[in-house]
Structure formats: C-alpha cells, structure tokens
Structure 1
C-alpha cells in the first residue's frame, strides 16, 4: 500500500514548527502499527518488535555519527532536552555536590530554559544565561570567562546547534572544545539542525544531543537523546528501566521505525535539499525586502560569507520584524489570505510576549513584537513564496493600522 502525506492548504511556511511526514516514513509507520508486540516481551512477537527497535537504533546512530548504544529513544525533543538538562545536572551533582551551576545560551528553546530554571527553583541550581550577539550567536568569550571563574562548580553547558526562531547556527564544536578543557560536559539541542546542516555527534565533541522526528519528516511524539556512555546521566522517569535505565516506558515501535526512516532519508538528501531550500529562502528574503522595504531581517544575512564557509543560518529559515505591526495581527491576516507562518514568540497566560530570542539579540520590545518566521520544507515551492509576497504588503499595512488604533487611548485593535 502506498501512503501519500496530506498537503496543508494554501502556502504552508511553518515547517520549523512541524513538517509533513515523508511518504517513506508514513508507510513504515502504517506497516509497523499493524503488528503486535511489546519490545520488552520475551515471546516471538516481542522479539520481533525489539529487532525493529534495535535496527532503528542502528539507523539513527549511523545517520548522526554515533554508536547505537548512545541512542536513547524518547517521546520527542522536549523530553530529550529535559532528560539531558536534569539528568546530567543530577548525575554530575551526585558525583560532586559542588557542581550546581548550569550554563545555557540566552536564546535556547524553552525545552532547555524551563528545565534549567525548574532546577534553580527546586534543586538548588544556579543558572547563567550566556549572552549572544546581534545575530543570535553565543558569546564564546563569556563562556570562557564563566568557566575560568567557576569551572569546579559547573554541572553542564547547553547550547543549541541552530536557533529555532532566527535560524542562527551556533559554534557548537568551539563550545565543546572550550568546555572540555575544564572537564565540563556539553548538551546541544539539534532539533532544527538535523537534515538542514551537517550534524555529526562524534565529530562535534558534544556529550549529549537532542533530535526529534516531526521536524524532519517523521511522526510527532518520538525523538532521541544521543548520550555518551560515560556521561553521568540520572533517570528523570522511572518504571521498567528501558533505554539504559534512564527513560522508562513502553517503546512506540511504529513511531521509532518511522522516525529512523525519516531521519535516514533527511540526512541522505540533506545537501541537495539544502541547496534547493536556500535558493528558495533567498528569493523569499529578497521578495519581502522588495514588497515591504522597512522589514528587518533578523539573524545572519544569508549573503554573508564565502561559498566554502559553513552556513551561518539554516537554509530554510527567514525571520523578519515589521515596524509598527504586531506579530499576532500579521499572523492572523496572513492566515486569512492562505499563508501559514509563525510569530516565533511565546504566548503566556493569553498575553502575547516579545520573543526572548530577539530581546537577547538586543532588539527592542516594540520591534520584537512585530516578528514573523517563515520556514521552508520538503514540500515548499516557489508558488508558496509568490503567494506570501502577493499578500504581505496589504497584510503589513492592515496590521500597522490595527496597531495604531490599539495604541490610541481607549483604542481597540
């Protein structure tokens, strides 16, 4: 049976949030979902399920430059980040109670920031936010200074491979090299990077790495933490002792197989797909600048650097702020025009908040509120970009007008 992924209506430009399952991954998922067997059971059905899990583990490891024994399957990126931040913190503190400091970049995803601050509130951790420059790149000198002053107290460093909002690729290898001089382990959230830029676990030097399925053509609800075998890592969930004893729970065999298929496919086609997406992204950036001249590109300029330089920005990411407009207004107006994008900011307790990423980059709160992220994927076409560019001028004008009304005393947007 051939399974075809359903296409989103209109122009879908929010692949960084989630991207459609690939045909191969969907077929693998459906085929495996029709079988019965718990991978922890000892009978023949259980052994068959275990074989599928272990073959998938080998596939994931091969695609990401890791050993199969370093792959811990999880329920997605958030769980993997929690396991890394909390698990390494507790593991290192068990070895040495003095290690209570956690260093994270100021632009991390909330799946890293929130566990870190939870540790501060509940487990005596002291959190240091590493500053970034105007393009969202972590300040390595600040990292060096923190480690020089407090290395004996640092439990871990966590710096994402690539930013989910503005697409900045971080100097992860440099971070690992600096931290390892002081004997400090490094975790990186590579959720956005895998399938877009080269990601090699062993070559990077990091000690733990997060990846998830639904960002690269696999299903929602499955991911992995790659963790070196000698890394102190305490369990966050307890039960049956699956996955090296640090992630208990019955394994979702169908999702794991589909995840492995999607990951292998995404990595194998990475160079070709990145070339296509970066060309389309450049057309989108140039078009937005043309139709809304005062829109400000945030993150590294795609045109900067030479052809042999490593990418400073994800090939599928374009992030703009629109002066005088609220991101939510832009989002809803574009959606009504058949274009789906993202503000890239959090909404807490029903009140829109400016992006912590943009604020850390030095963008003012006013400007940060007018943010939109456009992210491309395997199904993106030039027609999607054209539809955005046709709708955007009117949308930007209307959003600015709504902002002016709301800014007046007693005004209602």
Structure 2
C-alpha cells in the first residue's frame, strides 16, 4: 500500500474497462435537474385537459358561427327555405325533365306548386267566410255554456266570469287602440322582410333545381384535389338526409292533418279545414307543434260544442301523438333520418331557446344533416 506525501491529493482509482458492447448504467432520473410538472399529472387528467381545451375551441367557433348567422337571418332563412323547396320539387322536376327541357320542367313544377298552395288558401278563406256568421252565433252561445260550466263543480267560480273577462279585454283594446295600432304599423317592416325572403328563396330554388349539380361541382373544384372525395361524400350524405327529412316531415304533417280533419268532422267541430291547415303547419315542428294546434282546436270545440267534445279533442292529442311517434316517424323517416326521440326533443328545445320558433323548426334538420355527415365520414374513414 502506498501513501502520498503531505499536501498531495489522493490518487484516483483507475476506471475499470467496460466490456465491448456493454451499455453504460442508466443515470438516475431527475438527478441534478428540476422535475417536470407534467410528470406529476395523472394520465387521465392530462387526457381530460386535452379534450377540454379542444372542446372549448369548438364551442367558441360554434358561438361565433351562430352570432354571424344571427346577423344574417334573412339570407340564411331564404337559403334554408330554398333548399326545402328544392327537396320537395326535385322529384317532380326530374320526372318532367325526361319529357321536357329542364327549364320548362322547373317552370311547370313551380306553376303546379303555386296552384296547389293558392287553391288551398283560397278554399280556407272561402270556408271561413261562409261559416263566419254561424261561428259568431255559436261562439256567443258557447261562452254562455262555458260560464255556466265554470260555476259548477269542481271550479265554483263566480257567475259571469267569462263575460266579465271578455268585457275587460274589450275595454283594454279600446283604451290602448292607438298603441296597438302603432305597434302593428311598426311591425309592417316584418311583412316586407317576409316577402323579400320568400322572393329570394324562390329565386335561389329556381337555380338549385335547374343547375344545382353543376353549382356543387364548381364548389368542389375550388377545393384541393385530395379533399374532393371526402367533401363529395359529405355533401351527398347531407343532401340525402335533408331531402329525406323534409319530404318525411311533410308526409307526417299531411297525415296528421287528415286524421285531425276526420276526427273534427265526426265530432262536428266547425272550421275543420282551417284547423287542418293549422295542424299541417304546426306539425312541421316535431313533438310540440301538433299539440299546440290541437289545443287551439280544443278551444274552438269548447266554445262551440261544449266541454265534452273539447275533452274528446284533448284525448285526440294523445292519440295523434302516439300515432306520430310510434308509427309515422319510424315508417316514413326511418330510412333517411335515424335520430332518437330524446335527441329530437333536445334539439327542438335548444333551437327554441336560441332562436325562438325559427330555431325550433331548423334545429332537427341541422342535427340530422350533421349526424348523417359524421356517420358517412366515419364509415368510410381509411
């Protein structure tokens, strides 16, 4: 054993040579450096945080899109109505185009559709005008019957309640006639917007029916070549879902209107044809439109035919709802739109909260189109 002299550093031991091909021993983690913060975060929390900020970005994008669309209500609604008209008239135009030029087929389809709608409205107006005098007599007698009915069990209201209420409404209208008239005049701009939007919708639908395929191919040509097949599949699925939903909901609404008309005619409720038209228009809003229209029919039945017939009309609401939900929707729209009733109810409610009646009408088609596109892209994902 050797020792070093005073003041000298101890000699280092010679390093033992590593065998050829061996790896150095791993350095202990985090020695001599700060510990990264991510190493202390559980993997599940890290994954949830990643999904959270992505969802937040999508939510902000959706909010900005809705805000922009809210500022462009007129053109957006016009394009939506134009797509509805196109989906309804497209089969007729394609059928007539086999015998006529495409332009004449579009013109003839619009003339037939206008004649049908105008004939129905004229028939409704004639029916209301013919029954107006008789309806006024029945309403006055019906109000007396309702007043007498409310004074008995289980209500026990004061006699003359309905008459007093009608007098109060009349006095309120007389006292605020000027304000009501000014409000009606200020809302006249809404009528102008409605006519403008309808004209724009018809204008767009003419071009969609005549050359919609060429317009879509032109839009696809603006995309990168690799993205065109994906957009083509998405657009085809979106149009198939939208057209199927539109035609299906029109068939369901027409069936509901016919059933309601038959029931009201059997119960001898007046204004059957106007109430059928109201039922058809209201049933375009799924789940909630038909009960509202039938509630109006129940009020007419209560005022003209008494409480027993009104209760029968209320029972009709339940029957029509069961037929619509369990028979018509699965049969008519089962192949084109596959959305659970819970999703439909949530979509209608959310649309009504965001944009009122218009949102309730548009919500289900938008959700059905989005779901069809997602399913198409998922099924063909390479």
Normalised by the length of structure 1, the TM-score is: 0.22
Largest Rg, 1 or 2: 2
Structure with the larger RCO, 1 or 2 (CA within 8 Å, 6+ apart): 1
Judging by fraction of residues, say which structure has more helix: 2
Judging by fraction of residues, say which structure has more strand: 1
